[in-house]
Chain A
Amino acid sequence: MDGLDSAVAILAGAIRAGTPLVFAALGELVTEKSGVLNLGVEGMMLIGAVAGFITTVATGDPYLGILAAMIAGAALSLVFGFLSLTLLTNQVATGLALTIFGIGLSAFLGINYVGTPINGLKPLAIPLLSDIPVLGPVLFTHDVLIYASFFLIATVSILLYRTRAGLILRAVGESHAAAHAIGYPVVLIRYLAVMFGGACAGLAGAYLSLVYTPQWAENMTAGRGWIALALVVFATWQPGRVMAGAYLFGGITIMGLHVQALGFEISSHLVATLPYLATIVVLAVISRDATKIRLNAPASLGTPFHPAA
């Protein structure tokens, strides 16, 4: 029974550690499906984390914090949108700029909040469902945001593949010229997709600063935004696989801690390299099949669109 208990703890922990990745990667997936590559996920997450934290400190209400984080993430993504969609700048460089700016601005805004304690979001066990053996404690004893992430995965899958709006979004991402010729507002659709990605990244940041480790620290995302970008490739742009990948990475993140807790003498620094090394390995394995990547990646990903050109 002890083994089962710790397995349940590991699985539940993997879901918690993977949830910020779910949010950020789902948002980026939608952005990329519209043909836009936004490498600014890390920066938008940090802005979301700091905005959510400050709002929660100011109002005492973590739900307002979550809302503020989404708004802040979306607002920052608009900067990326204006540069890359309106001014047609290089998307790779602009995304990098967004991350650098987000790291700087979040550190600047959060300077007086380092070490401030807050009441983070509390877990909320779902009655009846949480009583199911094994599955109950793994899936249904979490905080509201994790349930929201389950809901978001389902919503994004349905929206993308079962609705007309999703079809248009994917058409824009596959061939902006064709979508433009049919009369779809390519740039507007891309703006919306970018903002959705920004809001999701902000939410991911809020999850970190309000739930996962309820505090603000400079650079607290620690590369999760980049891991989320790798996850989208890993998932070959499919929402369901994003979830699987995110929990896998969540599992790797907490695995090190469990190994240490078992009494193995491993440097915490070396344990901390695991998620990054895993990302590299997984990315290499998945990308190896170049044809598969080409078939699944939106065809006009990363290319600017100018109606007159």
Chain B
Amino acid sequence: MQLRLEPRAVTSSAMQYASPLIAAGMTVIAGVLLFGALGTDPISALYMFFIRPLTSVYGVSEWLLKATPLLLCALGLMVGFRANVWNIGAEGQLTFGAICGGGVALAFWGNEGVWTLPLMLVAGALGGMAWGAIPAFLKNHFNANEILTSLMLTYVAVQVLGYLVHGPWRSPEGFNFPETRMFGDAAQLTPLVDGTRLHSGIFIALLALAAVWIFLSKSFLGFKVSVAGQAPAAAAYAGFSRKGIVWLSLLLSGALAGLAGIIEVAGTIQQLQSVISPGYGFAAIIVAFLGRLHPFGILMASLLMSLMYLGGESLQMNLNLPLAVTGVFQGLLLFFVLGSDVLIRYRVRLVRDDERKAGA
């Protein structure tokens, strides 16, 4: 028996929609096997992972809270991925955005006004954009691979944050903990519902979703991005600037990731700490693919990914399983997403040995 892939004459539109569902289903099956192997009752583990977190108002608010940075980062990455620009440093751009926006909050600490929060958001977006501009510049003028440079810059940003919160920005009242002062009230995104942490960041993310969707589907520049990815030769023939696409992709994804970073620290954490993200920038890569590089797909995918973060915490609290389960599931999910996508372009057939010989 042999697995054989036969190219389809036209890509299967049914599979376009089915493949993310197949991938999610296979992840659940893998989860059952994994929990079984760990000696945990798979049904109760799956319940704790996927259902339990959403059975309370607080749980639902946390779900939307964690989906916010994932959605923002993935929206930006999607634009680049569509054009084959591989920014995988969203985590670094998120971190640097948080540093810049948080810096504003600290600089005006005690003198805040209504202008502080908008200024922080702008500073965060610009900071992320600046961090994304470095790989774009190096790609366009030095031909340096953006995958490697954007990732290296992630490590740099995380270390810079560590330096700041351990050193010059450390809170004078913080008993030497590596964290800054709590931001002033006017420098915080306050909770929408009492007793939860959910803040208006989710609306900013939804606005960004609408903006990116309009940009991609209605603007000529958005069209160029898609052509650049799907038919590079046609894009070159039409005179679309490759360098322009690289700049656009990295500046936009950097800005959105930076916005995610400042929203996270202004809303959820309300200060800078040495760790401000449990890998949202990396998980956003999975979100972008799971959402099939489409804005609304990405909305769904960011909700699923957010649930996986909550599910991991729920398993840790209720079944005493390590938090790292989330990372395992994230990786598996991306494997299954990529594997299922093959069904869009190919028909899979099992070929028996005698049939193979006859054909050969």
Q: Using a CB–CB distance below 8 Å, which chain A residues touch chain B? A: 39, 43, 79, 83, 86-90, 92-94, 96-98, 100-105, 107-108, 111, 218, 222-223, 226-227, 229-230, 233, 267, 269-270, 272-273, 276-277, 279-280, 283-285, 287-290, 293, 306, 308-309
Contacts and interface: CB of A to CB of B under 8 A. Distances in A.
A229 B334 CA distance: 21
A285 B342 CA distance: 37
Nearest to B167: A267
Interface stretch (B59-67, B116-124, B158-166, B296-304): B158-166
10 interchain residue pairs of minimum CB distance: A104-B327, A101-B331, A269-B163, A107-B324, A284-B142, A108-B324, A97-B334, A269-B162, A89-B338, A276-B152
A283 B138 CA distance: 9
Contact of B338 (A90, A223, A276, A306): A90
Interface string B2-30: 01011100000000000000000000000
A191 to B, nearest CB: 14
B156 A273 contact: yes
Contacts of A104: 324-331
Given A83-B339, A101-B335, A269-B162, 14 more contacts: A39-B147, A87-B338, A226-B152, A267-B166, A267-B167, A270-B159, A276-B153, A280-B138, A280-B149, A283-B138, A283-B148, A288-B143, A306-B5, A308-B6
Contact of A276 (B155, B162, B163, B339): B155
Contacts of A293: 143
Interface in B81-114: 86, 88
Nearest to B142: A284
B277 to A, nearest CB: 14
Contacts of A290: 143
B144 interface: yes
Given A223-B151, A308-B6, A309-B7, A283 B325 contact: no
Contacts of A287: 142-145
Nearest to A112: B322
Contacts of A283: 138, 144-145, 148-149
Interface of B: 3, 5-7, 86, 88, 134, 138, 142-145, 147-149, 151-153, 155-156, 159-160, 162-163, 166-167, 282, 285-286, 289, 322, 324-332, 334-335, 338-339, 341-342, 345-346
Given A93-B289, A223-B151, A105 B331 contact: yes
Given A87-B5, A280-B138, A229 B326 contact: no
Given A86-B3, A100-B282, A223 B152 contact: yes
Contacts of B346: 88
B339 A87 contact: yes
24 contacts: A83-B338, A83-B339, A87-B5, A88-B342, A90-B338, A97-B335, A97-B338, A100-B331, A100-B334, A103-B327, A104-B328, A105-B324, A105-B327, A107-B324, A108-B324, A226-B148, A229-B148, A272-B159, A273-B155, A273-B156, A273-B160, A287-B145, A290-B143, A306-B5
B153 A280 contact: yes
Contacts of B86: 92
A10 B175 CA distance: 37
Contact of B156 (A86, A107, A277, A308): A277
Contacts of B142: 284-285, 287-288
Contacts of B152: 223, 226-227, 230, 276-277, 279-280
